[in-house]
Each structure stands twice: as structure tokens, then as C-alpha cells.
Amino acid sequence: MSIRLRSRRRRIDLAVPPRGSRALPALAAILFTGGHAVAQAPQPLTLAALLDSVARHPAVEAAQAHVRAAQGSRITSGAFGNPIFSYQVDDTPFPGGSSVRGIDREGMTTVTLPLEPLYQRGARMRMADAQIRSATDDAFATRQRVALEASRAYYRTALAQIGVATSRDLLAWLDSVVTYNRSRVEEGAAAEADLIRSQLERDQQGVFRRRRTLRAGLYRGELRRRLT
């Protein structure tokens, strides 16, 4: 279900999730170019789609890389050392040569087993597990922080667009008031002070509209930056 708020020249869609859904409410972020609407119909940007793009944020990807690195260290810390086998022969001629008389052949076989896993493997694994938990918590906190900043930019942009649309409608209404007062002044039915007062109010509202349009453009630029 969607709620459509219609203004004089713009339309803003508010997407409402079904009742009982865990999805966050969605506002439509309609992007403009140079203060004018795009010729083609804009596609509404939902908050759920924006939060899905958070996973591609560089800070989130870096945090996930730290988690994978910690998991790799955990595998390395739990591995056993490789045993070493060696065989050594002394006083023996080269293959194919004749043996030397009076010299006995000596052979030696050595097996080396690393003892570090007996007293270091457990401590290393516990430290690696702690690093994984720490990296996972940091990744979760980073994702939540980025999602919070994106949500704030999303709602701020939507509210700024609503303010621009409201100012535009109010300015159009004040133009009609100025036209009406001018005709009454020309007919002698109203004082010229009423016309001047309505013109000042219209000009003041025009200044407010330009400020809101500029602010909305800044917010839209920030929202576009988060989507790239």
C-alpha cells in the first residue's frame, strides 16, 4: 500500500509496509537536477533499499575484511606443527662406487616433533577467538553507524523536499493574492498598502523557497554520495 501526497507540481510517494512487517517505513526520495524534475518518472527510493546498499559501504567492507582476517588467524593458531624426518649416512661411497675398506658405514635417522602446541596452542586459540569476537562486534557497530547516518540523510532529504514543495505552493498562492489585490487597487476598492504588503510577503516567501531549494540540493547530493 502506498500513500501519495500531491502538490501543485510535484508528487511525493510514501511507501507504507504491510501491517506486522518488520521493514522500516519507506519515504520516496525523488532526485532533481538543477532544481527541476527529471523528465522521466523517478523511481521511489525506499529506506529498505538504502539500508541494503549499506553492505557495500567501504567502512563496512573494511570491517568485514578484519573479521575474515581474524578467522584466518584462528585457523593458523589451531594448526599443529609439521614433524621433521631426516636420514643421514656417513662413510658411504657415491652410488655405483666401490666401498672403502676399513671404514664402517654409519647411518642415522632423526625425527623431530615440535612441542609448542602442547603449551601454546590453547592460549593462541583463545586469543584468536577473542580477536574474532572483537572484530565481529566492531563490524556490527560499523554497520549500525553507517545505517544510522544513511537513515538520517534519507529522512532529512525527504523532509527538505516536502518543504520545497510546500514553499512552491505557498508562493503560487501568494502570487494569486498579489494579482487579486492589484486588481482591487486598480478598481479603487482596496488601499495600495494592501498590495505592497502582499508583495513583500511574496518576495519573502520567494527567498525562503530559494533557501529551502538550496538546502534540499545539498541533502540530495549527500544521499547520492551514500548510494555510490
pLDDT tens figures, 18-34: 333 333 334 444 443 33
Nearest-angstrom CA–CA distance, 136 and 128: 12
End-to-end CA distance of the chain: give it in Å, rounded. 28
- The ranges assigned to domains in the chain are 2-64+124-227
Structural contact between residues 10 and 163, judged by C-beta atoms closer than 8 angstroms = no
Structural contact between residues 23 and 48, judged by C-beta atoms closer than 8 angstroms = yes
The dihedrals phi and psi of 111, each to the nearest 5 degrees, come to -125, 125
Q: Which residues pair with 6 in a beta bridge?
A: 11
Q: What pLDDT was estimated at residue 63? A: 92
Express each pLDDT in 51-75 by its tens digit: 888 888 888 999 999 999 999 988 8
> What's the average model confidence in pLDDT over 161-168?
89
pLDDT at 94 exceeding the cut of 60: yes
- Please name the helix (run of DSSP H) or strand (run of DSSP E) that holds residue 142, with its range, or none: helix 121-187
**Three cell numbers at 189?**
476598492
Express each pLDDT in 105-127 by its tens digit: 777 889 888 887 778 888 889 99
The number of residues making up the chain comes to 228
The dihedrals phi and psi of 106, each to the nearest 5 degrees, come to -120, 130
Q: In sequence order, what are the residues at sequence separation of 6 or more whose Cβ sits closer than 8 angstroms to the Cβ of residue 93?
A: 99, 100
Count of H-run helices and E-run strands, the chain? 5, 7
Nearest-angstrom CA–CA distance, 180 and 66: 68
**Three cell numbers at 6?**
500531491
